[in-house]
Structure 1
Amino acid sequence: MATTARRGMSWVAMGLFSASTVINFSNTGALAEYGLGCIVLYVVPALVFLLPAAVVSAELGSTWKGGIFEWVHEAFGERWAFSAAWQQWMQNVLFCPLLLSFVAGDLAFLIDPELARNGTFNAAVVVLCFGGATLVSMRGIRRAARFATITAVVGIALPTLLLAVLAAVYLKSGHRSAVPLDRHHVVPPGHGFRGLVLVVGNFLAYGGVEVTAVHAREMRSPERGYPKSMALMAILAFVVFVTSSLGTAIAVVNHRIVLSASLMQAFDHYFRTFQVRWATPIMASLYILAALGTVVSWMSGPSHGMLAVGRRGLLPPFFQRTNRQGAPTGVLAVQAALVMLIAAAFVVVRNVNEVYWVLEAATTELYIVMYVIMFLAAIRLRKVRASTHRGFRAPLLPALAALGGVACAAGFVLGLLPPAALPIHHHARYVVLLTLVVGSLSSVPFYLLAFRKADWAPVVARTPVA
C-alpha cells in the first residue's frame, strides 16, 4: 500500500513540486533595478540554461533513477559522481540561509521593517525556519512533496497573480511607475563585465531543475509524465520571475530596495496606495510559506543524493543513516549544523546585503560546476549507453547540452567578478577569496576519496515507510 502511494505522484504534482524547488525570490530585488530590462535578463538564461537543463533532466530522469549521482556515475564513474552530488548538496547548504533571509525580510514587515537589516534577527529566523524544514523533511518524501506542492500554489502562484493585478490597476489608475516602461528600456543598460555578473548569477534563478529527478520513479508514469512536469515547471518559473521583478520595479524606487524584502516592499506600497494595508501581514505569511516549501524541496533531493553517495561507501557511516520514513537523518543533521554556522555570518557582518552577495556568489559558482558535469554526462551517455531505452529521448540533446555547458563555463569565469551593485574596493582580494572558498569546498570529495576507510562499507538500505 505504501509503495503504491509513493509511486502515484501525477505529472502536475511533480511539476508543482519541481516549481517549488526552482522558484525562489532571491534575485527579484536585484533584477527589479533593471525595470523592463529584467525581461531580457530572464529570457537569456531561460534560453541558454533553463532549456538545456530541463531537456537534459527530462531525458536522464526518465531513464535512470537516483538523480545526479547515478547519472554521472553511469557516465564517468564514482569519483565524478561524488563530486557532482557534493556540489549540489553543498550549494544547497549555502543557498538555504540566503533564501531564508527573505523569510526574515517578510517577518520584519509583520513586526518592524527595520529588522530586515538586523543581522541577529536574520540569523535567528534562518536557524528556526531551517530547523522546522528539517523536521518536515524527516517525515518522508511523500509528506515533503505534499507540503511543497501546497506552498507552490498558495505561496507562489496566488501572490504572483495578485501582484500582477495590483501593478496593472496601479498603472491604470494613473499612478506613476518607479521605473520607465517604454520600449527604449526593454534592453537593460550595460555596465561592462561587472554588469554581466548579475546576468550570470541569474542563470541559477532557474537552478534546481534536476533536484526532483531523484524522485521521478515515484510518479505514476515517469517516462511520459516527467518531461511534462519539466515543461510545467519551466513555464511557471519564467512567468513568476518576470511578474515578481516587474511588480517590484513599478512600486519601489531602486535605491530603496532591500534585497531580502523587495516583494514585501512592493506589496506594502500597493496596499498603502489602495488603503488596504491590513493585507500586508497576509502576503508576508504566504511568502514565508513559499520559502519554507522551497527549502523542504531542496532538502529532499540533494540530501537523498548524498545518502546514495554514503551507501556506496564513499562517506562515513553516519551519512548512511535513515529513519523509518527513509529520510536521510545523518545528512540532514550535518546540513542543519552547517547552516547554523553560516547563519552566524549575519551576526558577525554588519551589512546584511553583503552577506547576501557572498552567499549568492559562492552558491552560483558551486552549482555551475555541477551543471557542467551534468551536461557532459548527458553527452557521454548518448555514446556509451546508446542502446539504453530512453523514457524520453530529447531532440538535439548533444547540441543543447553543449550550449548549456558553454554558458555555464563562461558563467563560472564571470561569476568570480564582484557585481556592480556590491561596493567592493579591493576587487583582487574578492576574486582570490571567492576562488579559495569555491576551490576548497569543491576539493572535499576528492579528499574524502583519498582517505576513505574500510569501515565506510555500504550498508543495506532500509525500506521507507510512508
Structure 2
Amino acid sequence: MNQKKDKINLFILITLSSAFVVSIRNVPSMAETGLHMIFFGLIAAICFFIPTALISAELATGWPKEGGVFVWVTKAFGSKFGFLASWLQWTNMLLSVISMFYFVGGSFAYVIAPDLAANKIFLISVLFVALWTCTLASLKGVRVNSLVSTCCFLLGVLLPAILMIVLGVFYFFSDNPLSIDLSFTPKNIFPDFKKFATLVLILSFTRTFTGIEASSNHAGKVINPARNYPVAIFFVVIIGLAVNLLGAFSVAIVVPQRDISFVSGFMQAFEMFLRKMNVGWIVPYIGVLVAGGAIGGANAWLMGPVKGLLEAAKRGFFPPFLTKVNKHGIPRNLLIVQGIVISLIGSFLMISDKINIAFWISIALSMMIYASMYFLMIISGIYLRYKHPEVKRAYYIPGKKNSGMWIIGSLGIITILFLFVVALFPPLELSPKNHIFYFMTIFMGFLIVFIIPTILTIAKKEHWIHERYKGKKNE
C-alpha cells in the first residue's frame, strides 16, 4: 500500500470534516421553527458546537492517532470506557445515515416525481441502493472514500447551499410575499419556555452541529495533524453556521411553515424559487446534486466511526473475524455488518404511519446517544489535563490552571444534559396518538444501545486481544 498516496492534506481534511458536520438535510427542520431559528441556532453554536469543536481539536492534536474518541477516552479511563464511547459514536452514525438516505430519497424524488418523497417503498429502496453503493466504495480505501466525500460535499452541499442562499436573497429583495413573520418581537424570536415540546426543536439545530470529532478517526492519515486540525475545525465552524442558518432562512421565506417536509423541504424551496423565475426545468438537476451531497455525507460517516470500532476490536471487544482488514487497511467485515444493521433499522423506522415521525425519532434517539458520547469525550478532555499534562497539544484551550478547559467543558456538559432530557419529550408536530410509539421507540432503542456493549464487555475473551495490546489497559 502506498502510504504517501493515502495521506490527507489540509484541503481534503476541511472538506472531509465538513462532510461530517455540514449538511443541508437538517435545514427544513430548522426552517420549520420560523424566526426561532436565530435563538436556537445561536444557542446550539455557542453552547454545543464551539465547546465540542475546541475540545476535540485539543484532543486530536494531543493524540493524533486513528481511532479518535476511542483513543482519547481510553487514555483517560481505560479501554472499557473507550469502547463505550466509540460504540455510542457508531450507533449514532447508524441513525444519522438513515436520515441522510431518507433525505437522498426525498431529493432524488424531484428528479422523477415529487410525490415519491412520501412513498415509503421508494425511500427504503433508495436507502438500500445508496447504502450498499457507499459501502462498496468505502472498501477501496481512505483516500478514495475521502475524495468521494469531498467531491460530493463541494457539488452536492456547498454549491446547492450557496445557490439556495443567493435565491433567498434575490427573493427577499424582490418584493415577493414572505412565508415567515419577520417582526422582531420577543414572542417571535424566543420560544415559549413553558412548553417543553417547543424546546424539543433545539435537537435538530444541535444535531446539525454534531460530528466535528469524527474526522479524527483518520488522524493517522493526516499530513501534519498538529497544525492542520485546528485550521480545519475553524473553517468547518464558519461553513457550518453559514450554510445552516442562511439556508434555513431561505427555505422559511418561501415555503409555508405548515407545509415544510423534513425529508424534502430543501427541494420544496428550490422548486418554488425556480418555478417563480420560470426555470423550473432546473429542479431535477438540483435534485441530483443535493442527493449526491447527502450520499457524500453518508459515505464519510460510514467510514469514520467504524475506525474506532476497529481499534476496540483489536482490544478484544469483538471476535477476531471483525478485525480483518483488506489490502487498503479497511475493516471489510465490520463494514458489511454495519450495512446489514443500517438496512434493518431503516426498514423498522418506516413502520410509522408518517415519514416525519420516523425522521424525528431518528433525530431524538441519535441525539441522546451522541450526547452520552460527548459527555465521555468532554470529561476525558478535562481529566487528561491532569493525568497527562506532559503531552504536547498543538492546540491548547487557553486559561490559567486549566480554567479555560473547565469553563468550556462545563458549558458543554450542561448543554448535553439539557439536550438529553429534552429529547425525551415529543415535539408539538406529533399528535397524541403517536406519543406512545415515540416513547417506546426512544426508550427501547436507547436501552438496547447500552445493553449490547455491556454484554460484549462481559463476553470479552483474552485470546481475542491483538498481541500488541495484551496487558495494556490504557492503550
Instruction: Work out whether 1:368 is the aligned partner of 2:367.
Output: no
- Cα gap change, 1:317/1:72 in structure 2, threshold over 3 Å: closer, same or farther? same
Q: Deviations over 1:70-104 (max 9, x none)?
A: 00000000111110000000111121111110111
What are the within-5 Å matches in structure 2 for residues 194-343 of structure 1? 194-343=197-346
Is residue 122–residue 346 contact of structure 1 (8 Å, CA) maintained in 2?
no
Instruction: Work out whether 1:356 is the aligned partner of 2:359.
Output: yes
Letter in 2 for 1:99: M
Deviation for aligned residue 1:11: 2.2
Is residue 191–residue 199 contact of structure 2 (8 Å, CA) maintained in 1?
no
- Cα gap change, 1:218/1:454 in structure 2, threshold over 3 Å: closer, same or farther? closer
Letter in 2 for 1:159: P
1:22 counterpart residue number: 21
- Cα gap change, 1:232/1:313 in structure 2, threshold over 3 Å: closer, same or farther? same
Instruction: Work out whether 1:175 is the aligned partner of 2:176.
Output: yes
Letter in 2 for 1:10: N
2:189 counterpart residue number: 187
Letter in 2 for 1:200: L
1:437 counterpart residue number: 445
Q: Deviations over 1:351-385 (max 9, x none)?
A: 11121111111111111100000001000000100
Is residue 119–residue 346 contact of structure 1 (8 Å, CA) maintained in 2?
no
Task: Report the 3-state secondary structure (helix = DSSP H, G, I; strand = E; otherwise coil) of the residue aligned with 1:3.
Answer: coil
- Cα gap change, 1:21/1:350 in structure 2, threshold over 3 Å: closer, same or farther? same
Deviation for aligned residue 1:134: 0.7
Instruction: Work out whether 1:93 is the aligned partner of 2:94.
Output: yes
1:44 counterpart residue number: 43
Instruction: Work out whether 1:10 is the aligned partner of 2:32.
Output: no
Return the alpha-carbon distance in structure 2 between the equivalents of residues 125 and 113 of structure 1: 14
Instruction: Give the RMSD, CA atoms, in angstroms.
Output: 1.8
Letter in 2 for 1:5: K
1:57 counterpart residue number: 56
Letter in 2 for 1:412: F
Number of corresponding residues: 460
Is residue 59–residue 390 contact of structure 1 (8 Å, CA) maintained in 2?
yes
1:464 counterpart residue number: none
Is residue 25–residue 266 contact of structure 2 (8 Å, CA) maintained in 1?
no
Worse overlay, 158-167 or 389-398: 389-398
Return the alpha-carbon distance in structure 2 between the equivalents of residues 414 and 335 of structure 1: 29
From 383, 392, 413, the equivalent of 1:389 is 392
Return the alpha-carbon distance in structure 2 between the equivalents of residues 410 and 220 of structure 1: 37
Letter in 2 for 1:257: I
Return the alpha-carbon distance in structure 1 between the equivalents of residues 11 and 243 of structure 2: 17
Structure 2: stretches of 5+ with no match in the other structure: 399-403, 470-475
2:108 counterpart residue number: 107
Structure 1: stretches of 5+ with no match in the other structure: 462-466
Letter in 2 for 1:46: A
Return the alpha-carbon distance in structure 1 between the equivalents of residues 437 and 293 of structure 2: 36
Worse overlay, 65-74 or 154-163: 154-163
2:472 counterpart residue number: none
Identity %: 29
Deviation for aligned residue 1:430: 3.9
Deviation for aligned residue 1:346: 5.3
Deviation for aligned residue 1:216: 2.4
Is residue 16–residue 152 contact of structure 1 (8 Å, CA) maintained in 2?
yes
1:123 counterpart residue number: 124
Instruction: Work out whether 1:153 is the aligned partner of 2:154.
Output: yes
Letter in 2 for 1:322: V
TM-score, scaled to structure 1: 0.95
Letter in 1 for 2:387: V
Letter in 2 for 1:119: K
Task: Report the 3-state secondary structure (helix = DSSP H, G, I; strand = E; otherwise coil) of the residue aligned with 2:5.
Answer: helix
Instruction: Work out whether 1:452 is the aligned partner of 2:451.
Output: no
Deviation for aligned residue 1:251: 1.1
1:404 counterpart residue number: 412
Is residue 345–residue 355 contact of structure 1 (8 Å, CA) maintained in 2?
no
Return the alpha-carbon distance in structure 2 between the equivalents of residues 420 and 18 of structure 1: 33
Return the alpha-carbon distance in structure 1 between the equivalents of residues 324 and 410 of structure 2: 37
Letter in 1 for 2:229: Y
Worse overlay, 134-143 or 433-442: 433-442
Return the alpha-carbon distance in structure 2 between the equivalents of residues 387 and 455 of structure 1: 33
Q: Deviations over 1:157-210 (max 9, x none)?
A: 111111111112112222111112233376143261111111134212111010
Task: Report the 3-state secondary structure (helix = DSSP H, G, I; strand = E; otherwise coil) of the residue aligned with 1:35.
Answer: coil
Worse overlay, 299-308 or 193-202: 193-202
- Cα gap change, 1:406/1:33 in structure 2, threshold over 3 Å: closer, same or farther? same
Is residue 87–residue 369 contact of structure 1 (8 Å, CA) maintained in 2?
yes
Return the alpha-carbon distance in structure 1 between the equivalents of residues 157 and 467 of structure 2: 39
Deviation for aligned residue 1:443: 2.4
Task: Report the 3-state secondary structure (helix = DSSP H, G, I; strand = E; otherwise coil) of the residue aligned with 1:325.
Answer: coil
- Cα gap change, 1:56/1:105 in structure 2, threshold over 3 Å: closer, same or farther? same
Worse overlay, 135-144 or 372-381: 135-144
Return the alpha-carbon distance in structure 1 between the equivalents of residues 164 and 230 of structure 2: 29
